[in-house]
Amino acid sequence: MKTIIRNATIINEGRQFVGSVVIEDEWIQQVLEGDDTSQAYDAVIDATGLYLFPGVIDDHVHFREPGLTYKADIASESRTAAAGGVTSYMEMPNTVPQTTTLELLEEKFQLGAQNSRVNYSFFFGATNDNAEEIQRLDPRRVPGVKVFMGSSTGNMLVDKEASLRQIFSTSPLLLMAHCEDTGIINANIRAFKKRYKGQNDFPVRYHSRIRSVEACYASSSLAVQLAHETGARLHLAHISTAKELELLDSRPLEEKRITAEVVIAHLMFSTEDYDRLGTLIKCNPSIKTPEDQAALRNALTNGLIDVVATDHAPHLLNEKQGGALKAASGMPMIQFSLVSMLGLSDQGVLPIERIPCLMAHHPARLFKIEKRGFIRPGYYADLTLVDPNGNWQVKEGRYYTKCGWTPMDERVFKWRVRRTIVNGITAYSDGIVVDGIRGKELRFR
């Protein structure tokens, strides 16, 4: 099967040009400036007026399977990913049971093969006592080890110094760290309870003062210290504060041993949005101040932030009831990551050419994903076509997450994903997720 995508504005590897892409079966065969009329094709996709990006690679999602499938599962959330132009994801281990043994990890891979509409892989979860299991992981199949250095949803906290040092010293894989200091968080909770005479919950606007800048920085700086001392390859998840950016440097990605991710929630929301959206934007780490948000946005272009992801984390709406302590933390965002970033580009936050770097090229290079993340001959045809004049409003029926809500509800986007191609096959087209499509397991060099 030979297909040509004609007359697209191609955004790839720092360039923008009008051209065509030839796909044969699951592979990109040619990338052309202009068109190719020299041969016949089995299928022609006219992309005039559309932008063609490499498919988004999201290195941080929670799809809730196994054990929490009443609110999300691999089938439903990978459908949602396809609708957002995401062609590959790496999923986190805080499911039920937690993915902390090789046997449970293999069960997850089987679920991915059976149910995922896009390409997939799964992080292994560190605990206080499974360092030996970590050393047995296959680096061609597993992207990394998730280390919860702060207690969050699922409570996989690694809080013993000896365990942390052993994991950092011996892991053969990249370590992705959730960094919040639990001692500081608990002290903040006690202070609030004393101030409010024993109340067991507080308005959500206080969430950023409980899971504070100090809690984030203390934990992130410890992770960076351990990485420097042990030589570990460290990836800091969901950086949320301006202060944490002081721990990072702007060298080229290939020269870094310590890299950082920012997620869409911290780029799109600030504490000023709590009054409007309440617990819908409650997440861990917490949404921070407009000043923090501005610093994170600036870091998209100054080299301090390497990857943009979503931390897509569905909960039912009734689990989001309560305040800073009782409402569940997390929000479904994967369908809106690419269009949100394109909106930021329209606002002048970053050049459009920078978006595939942060959302496809860098994840592929950082995790050494084989033959994905770029529009190149010999690479898998993972692509997304986006309409710059799609002008659509988010509302029920136009989003696909199983939990049935999003903090993006009623937001108007100028950009709209028109088609998502996974391994050369259309997985999503103009509001329709194509049945029967299955992604492939990611492989790592």
On the question of pLDDT at 153 being above 60, the answer is: no
On the question of pLDDT at 181 being above 60, the answer is: yes
DSSP 364: H
Tokens representing residue 81 in the block = 């990913």
| Burial bucket for residue 42 (CB in 10 Å: 0-12, 13-18, 19+) | exposed
Report percent pLDDT > 70 for the chain.
Answer: 99
Q: How many C-beta atoms surround the C-beta of residue 18 within 10 A?
A: 16
On the question of pLDDT at 151 being above 70, the answer is: no
Q: Is the peptide bond before 388 cis (omega within 30 degrees of 0)?
A: no
392 HSE (CA, 13 A, CB side)? 20
pLDDT digits (tens, 9 = 90+) for 82-133: 999 999 999 999 999 999 999 999 999 999 999 999 999 999 999 999 999 9
Q: What is the pLDDT of residue 34?
A: 83
Tokens 């959730």 sit at which residue?
178
What average pLDDT does the structure give for the chain? 96
Q: Which domains does the chain have, with CATH numbers?
A: 2-52+379-433 (2.30.40.10), 56-366 (3.20.20.140)
Check: CB of residue 355 under 8 Å from CB of residue 369.
no
Q: What is the pLDDT of residue 155?
A: 56
Hey, which bits of 191-337 come out as E strands?
234-236, 258-263, 307-309
Check: CB of residue 152 under 8 Å from CB of residue 180.
yes
pLDDT digits (tens, 9 = 90+) for 373-415: 999 999 999 999 999 999 999 998 899 999 999 999 999 999 9
Q: How many C-beta atoms surround the C-beta of residue 445 within 10 A?
A: 9
| Burial bucket for residue 32 (CB in 10 Å: 0-12, 13-18, 19+) | middle
Average pLDDT of the residues in 277-286: 98
- Best CA proximity match to 157, nearest among 98, 70, 77: 98
DSSP run (H or E) holding 252: none
pLDDT digits (tens, 9 = 90+) for 242-252: 999 999 999 99
Q: Under 8 Å CB-to-CB from 194, ≥6 apart: which residues?
A: none
